[in-house]
Copies of this chain bind each other. A is one copy, B any other.
Amino acid sequence: MAKPTKFLNDTLGEKIELLLKDGRVLIGVLIGYDDHMNLVLEDTTEETEDMLRRIGTIILRGNNVVTLNPI
């Protein structure tokens, strides 16, 4: 079985797409996480239909996450 934390661990160093509860989509390289699904991302960008904002390295609080997937 692919436990969520094991899958997170296998995804370290990879580019992921994050969908947040407020509808925003972030893209970045996953470089850290913890048991609450708090995440650390590098080279993060926020993408909307008409905008791309570069944010760099961020901490994202886990309770805002809906889904995350490698891209």
Contact = CB atoms under 8 A, between A and B. Distances in A.
Interface residues of A, number: 40
Interface in A31-66: 31-34, 37-40, 44, 55-66
Contacts of A58: 67-69
Contact of A22 (B12, B56, B57, B66): B66
Number of copies: 7
Given A1-B32, A2-B32, 4 more contacts: A3-B40, A57-B69, A59-B69, A63-B63
Nearest to A42: B2
Interface of A: 1-9, 12, 20-22, 26, 31-34, 37-40, 44, 55-71
